């Protein structure tokens, strides 16, 4: 039997297998997803609120290619470098997909020898994360960055970044939020006075960074157990990182016996005080918290760092709180552009990245919970016919409407039933129907039906465009 089976298998292999049969691959790559019309409608709303905020602050927009030379990205992301997507070596330059929008920005500034710019950039970035482990973590996702590059008087641009985060999160009505701020220099100063050896600064920093997800005890045992920190140093760190507050905390720390001896910490605290003064003038300190446990993962921050988190998920029916975690983050990074410039010429930068994907998820859930129906088109009127053989008239009328800039649709049927056409309006949210009928044509009018109320009025053909504009309050 085995011999016969082997013979059959060989024959099957010879047949080639897929001859004539369609090879259907019905999925998107792991960690990526399509956006259908409903999701796009939400997305558009969010982008439009965010972009209008960026524009309100006078930012210009730029765009960069999705791939960069592999060398451009190497060495900028620390441990995260293994998450970069590489393109196959197909005989040209070695390329990788961009991991964020900040490194491309730094490259752009250095390449074009730009010394100052205020720019926003909204585009997709790519990371070979393991989506199963980190819920809601995609491999292809949007980032929404705003950055101010240039040598300016201290903390003014930094304050504007925070003002922008505050405006965006308020405009999007995501509920209550807090923006935590800290400073790399304060962190480093704190580590120094707590007895952390210089060489362990970065690794201890990344442990402290976990405090927003994991309790102090666990972080402490990682620092002592895995990272080789002395228990005393860990305890000293513990006293500081539990602190958060406002100007009063800053004043207190400026008086702190140990910290005030540390040059770096003093510098950081001085700037933090200035920042808070500006934020007070902007009227937003109610939602700002100077938080010593804030660390931020990336290596390139050199000064102020900040992170915005939502305080409460309103929708309690969701099992896993997608949306827990930050919705925006950023800071000052004065050394990055210099890494790209042949002369090492520095361009100081400060910026913020809005966590657009988290915001989408939250709004998507909210919408589902509220049962509000979101339209996927902006069509103002359906051109319909009441009797048969009126296709030509429909085509003529819809063409007139389009030429006047009216958003109009019609069914692709020669003789559609009126009921089907009205149903289409109900299904897609089209508010008006322009009905052509034999009698109306003779009288030079069009019957305009208001879908919501079912009332019908006869409008003179010449006035139809204006009537539609008024009734849908769209120009």
Q: Which of residues 386-425 bind another protein (CB under 8 A)?
A: 391, 395, 399, 402-403, 405-409, 412-414
Residues with Cβ within 8 Å of residue 161, at least 6 apart in sequence: 146, 148, 306, 330, 350, 351, 352
Given the complex with another protein, which of 227 and 273 has the nearer CB atom?
Answer: 273
Residue 333 binds another protein (CB under 8 A): no
Q: Which of residues 446-465 bind another protein (CB under 8 A)?
A: none
Residue 35 binds another protein (CB under 8 A): yes
Of residues 99, 103, 161, 163, which one binds another protein by CB under 8 A? 163
Residue 426 binds another protein (CB under 8 A): no
Residue 222 binds another protein (CB under 8 A): no
Instruction: Find tokens 């995260």 and name the residue.
Output: 80
The number of residues that bind another protein (CB under 8 A) is: 81
In our burial notation (b when 16+ CB lie closer than 10 A, e otherwise), range 135-164 reads ebbbbbbbbbbbbbbeeeebbebbbbbbbb
Strands 244-245 and 288-291, bridge-based pairing = antiparallel
**What phi and psi, each to the nearest 5 degrees, are found at residue 152?**
-130, 175
Q: How far is the CB of 57 from another protein (least distance, A)?
A: 7
Distance CA 298, CA 181 (A): 15
Q: Which of residues 230-269 bind another protein (CB under 8 A)?
A: none
Distance CA 149, CA 163 (A): 17
Q: How far is the CB of 29 from another protein (least distance, A)?
A: 5
Q: How far is the CB of 334 from another protein (least distance, A)?
A: 15
Given the complex with another protein, which of 70 and 258 has the nearer CB atom?
Answer: 70
Phi-psi region of 109 (alpha: psi -120 to 50; beta: other; left: phi over 0): alpha
Of residues 28, 74, 221, 474, which one binds another protein by CB under 8 A? 28
Distance CA 66, CA 98 (A): 6
Structure tokens at 239: 């006293």
Residue 198 binds another protein (CB under 8 A): no
Which part of the chain contacts another protein (CB under 8 A), choosing from 145-153, 187-195, 434-442, 456-464?
145-153
Which part of the chain contacts another protein (CB under 8 A), choosing from 18-26, 199-207, 216-224, 226-234?
18-26
Residue 36 binds another protein (CB under 8 A): yes
Of residues 10, 71, 79, 86, which one binds another protein by CB under 8 A? 86
Distance CA 146, CA 297 (A): 19
Q: How far is the CB of 210 from another protein (least distance, A)?
A: 27
Distance CA 196, CA 46 (A): 43
Given the complex with another protein, which of 305 and 381 has the nearer CB atom?
Answer: 381
Give the closest residue to 188 by CA, choosing from 218, 217, 210, 208.
208
Annotated binding site for L-histidine: 100-102, 127, 143, 147, 296, 300-301
């Amino acid at each position: 039997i085995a011999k016969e089976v082997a013979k059959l298998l060989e024959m099957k292999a010879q047949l080639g297998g897929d001859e004539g049969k369609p090879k259907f691959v019905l999925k998107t790559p792991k960690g990526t997803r399509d956006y259908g019309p409903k999701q796009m409608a939400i997305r558009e709303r969010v982008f439009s609120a965010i972009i209008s905020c960026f524009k309100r602050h006078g930012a210009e927009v730029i765009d960069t290619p999705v791939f960069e030379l592999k060398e451009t990205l190497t060495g900028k992301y620390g441990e995260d470098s293994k998450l970069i997507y590489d393109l196959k070596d197909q005989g040209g330059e070695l390329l990788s997909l961009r991991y964020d929008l900040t490194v491309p920005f730094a490259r752009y500034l250095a390449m074009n020898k730009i010394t100052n710019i205020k720019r926003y950039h909204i585009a997709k970035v790519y990371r070979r994360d393991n989506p199963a482990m980190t819920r809601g973590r995609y491999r292809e996702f949007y980032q929404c960055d705003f950055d101010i590059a240039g040598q300016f008087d201290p903390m003014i641009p930094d304050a504007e970044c925070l003002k922008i985060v505050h405006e965006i999160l308020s405009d999007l009505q995501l509920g209550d939020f807090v923006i935590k701020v800290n400073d790399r220099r304060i962190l480093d100063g704190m580590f120094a006075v707590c007895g952390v050896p210089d060489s362990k600064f970065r690794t201890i920093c990344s442990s402290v960074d976990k405090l927003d997800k994991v309790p102090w005890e666990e972080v402490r045992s990682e620092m002592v157990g895995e990272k080789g920190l002395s228990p005393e140093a860990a305890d000293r760190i513990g006293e500081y990182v539990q602190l958060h507050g406002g100007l009063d905390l800053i004043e207190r720390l400026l008086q702190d016996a140990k910290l005030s001896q540390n040059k770096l910490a003093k510098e950081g605290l001085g700037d933090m005080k200035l920042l808070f003064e500006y934020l007070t003038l902007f009227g937003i300190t109610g939602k700002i918290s100077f938080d010593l446990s804030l660390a931020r993962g990336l290596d390139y921050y050199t000064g102020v760092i900040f992170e915005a988190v939502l305080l409460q998920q309103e929708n309690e029916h969701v099992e896993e709180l997608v949306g827990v975690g930050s919705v925006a983050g950023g800071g000052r990074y004065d050394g990055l552009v210099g890494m790209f410039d042949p002369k090492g010429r520095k361009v100081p930068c400060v910026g913020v990245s809005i966590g657009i994907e988290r915001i989408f998820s939250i709004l998507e859930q909210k919408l589902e919970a509220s049962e509000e129906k979101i339209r996927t088109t902006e069509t103002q009127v359906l051109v319909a016919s009441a009797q048969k053989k009126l296709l030509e008239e429909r085509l003529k009328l819809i063409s007139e409407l389009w030429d006047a800039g009216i958003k109009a649709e019609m069914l692709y049927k020669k003789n559609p039933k009126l009921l089907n056409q009205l149903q289409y309006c109900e299904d897609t949210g089209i508010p008006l129907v322009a009905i052509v009928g034999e009698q109306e044509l003779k009288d030079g009018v069009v019957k305009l039906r208001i879908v919501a109320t079912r009332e019908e009025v006869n409008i003179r053909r010449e006035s139809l465009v204006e009537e539609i504009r008024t009734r849908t309050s769209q120009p």
